[in-house]
Amino acid sequence: MVKKRLKDIQLFLVSSLVVLFAVGAGRCTAQDRAAVANTYTPRFEKILKENIASFWYDKSIDRVNGGYTINFGPKGEPKGESTKMIVTQARTVWLFSRLARAGYGNKEYIEAADVGYRFLKEKMWDAEHGGFYWEVDATGDKKLKPRKHLYGQSFGLYAISEFYLATQRPDALEFAIRFFNVLEAKSHDDTYGGYIEFFNEDWTPAPASGGSYMGGGAGLKLMNTHLHLLEAMTTFYRASRLPPARERLLELINIESNAVVRKGLGACTDKYARDWTPMLEGDLARVSYGHDIENVWLLMDACEAAGVSNHPFGDLYGALFDYSLKYGYDQANGGFYDSGPFNRPADRRGKVWWVQSEAIVSALYMHRMTQDAKYLTIFQKTSDFIEKNMVDWENGEWHGTITPEGRPQGDKANTWKAGYHNGRAMIECLDILKQWKN
């Protein structure tokens, strides 16, 4: 306990010194960035390799049924067989593929990704109608939720595209292109733009009277779904270089930088009618800080992939980040809260693992674009919060949530929690930090 306390104090002092010179007069020098990079690079590499990647590689690969077992309690204890849902199955294919492509392992992570890729292709893919089932049993033989939701489909495209980039296997690219063509034919909304989200198994419209797999009415369009379609299309375009993919990428950039942004607020909302009329009644008039901050860096990355300058979007990026900073950031301890009502402080004040993950990536992207020291300070304080509170060195992986009282809670892995957000955050941040090192 004493050693841990001394380590925490040392970490705080080192980080505080870095923050002091980084804030300066509002802009940072190359030397400032190098000092930050030298401090955080080894720490992030350790978290990625020894806390995140090792947890998923050691625990999740289902070598009996294929795919991944994603069902572990707060201490990483196995909770038995679980259903397999397209979102987290695909996210784990993506994680192992991205780890391999980033150079944090090769054959072992390619093999681990291939286990999941084959499960997606052989068990979760609808061979008759195309697209992925939402949820199957542990074996993949029983289709528990066979309808198609574009949120899940987006992660299927994301995973297959990344698997191709990591392996350069022609069959993976062919599969990704075939899937893109299914989405074009079945779900793209040629009238209003974006994608119609929820369908029956055969891609006929889902009943309007029932709710969708993402909650709410079956006919809704979500900022959240289109945000992940944006990241998927970014990776698919990098993999395929197909002109129609770039056209869709530009459309999604337009949606995530315009349609989902409430102009008088400087923040995004989630739910829309098919024609992009915002739905703001009741509890829908609130802001998810994590999604807004994630939107900033995913838009930057999408523009880079499409060959579009980010600078015309600079005011938007600043407005989205500043709104979350004003209402959802813990100035004293670092880290962002979950969400809050319009123009009021956060009322859901848990700090969720994925929100912190997206915050540190977005802060580095914003600093790289603007050179503004405030973003580097936010990166440092939030990274320190993560390392001190969210990373579970004893049991592996990150805690799901840190409560307002400072207690960790939640499973390490379930149908909605895998290693994609935090694994990606470490990889993305390390990519930038290593460019700054001296």
Enumerate the domain spans of the chain.
Answer: 76-259
pLDDT at 438 (0 to 100): 77
pLDDT at 11 (0 to 100): 47
pLDDT tier at 16, thresholds 50, 70, 90: very low
- Rounded Cα–Cα distance for residues 69 and 353 (Å): 20
What phi, psi does 85 have (nearest 5°)?
Answer: -105, 140
CA-based R_g, the chain, Å? 21
pLDDT at 209 (0 to 100): 81
pLDDT tier at 15, thresholds 50, 70, 90: very low
**Element (H or E) spanning 268, and its range?**
strand 267-268
Query: Do the Cβ atoms of 420 and 53 come closer than 8 Å?
Result: no
Query: Do the Cβ atoms of 245 and 269 come closer than 8 Å?
Result: no
pLDDT tier at 309, thresholds 50, 70, 90: very high
Q: Closest by alpha carbon to 220, among 192, 181, 245?
A: 192
Query: Do the Cβ atoms of 323 and 261 come closer than 8 Å?
Result: no
Q: What is the mean pLDDT of the chain?
A: 94
pLDDT at 210 (0 to 100): 79
Place of tokens 């192992």: 96
Taking residues 298-324, report their average pLDDT. Answer: 98
- Rounded Cα–Cα distance for residues 403 and 383 (Å): 17
**Element (H or E) spanning 297, and its range?**
helix 289-306
Instruction: Decide if pLDDT at 25 tops 60.
Output: no
Which tens digit of pLDDT belongs to each residue from 203-235?
999 998 878 999 888 999 999 999 999 999 999
pLDDT at 418 (0 to 100): 98
pLDDT at 4 (0 to 100): 46
pLDDT at 388 (0 to 100): 98
More confident residue, 419 or 2: 419
Q: What is the dotted CATH code of the domain comprising 76-259?
A: 1.50.10.10
> For residue 156, how far is the Cα from the chain centroid?
14
> For residue 292, how far is the Cα from the chain centroid?
12
pTM of structure:
0.94
Cα→Cα distances 238→53, 207, 301, 437, Å: 24, 36, 11, 27
- Dmax over CA atoms of the chain, in Å, equals 64
Query: Do the Cβ atoms of 240 and 176 come closer than 8 Å?
Result: yes
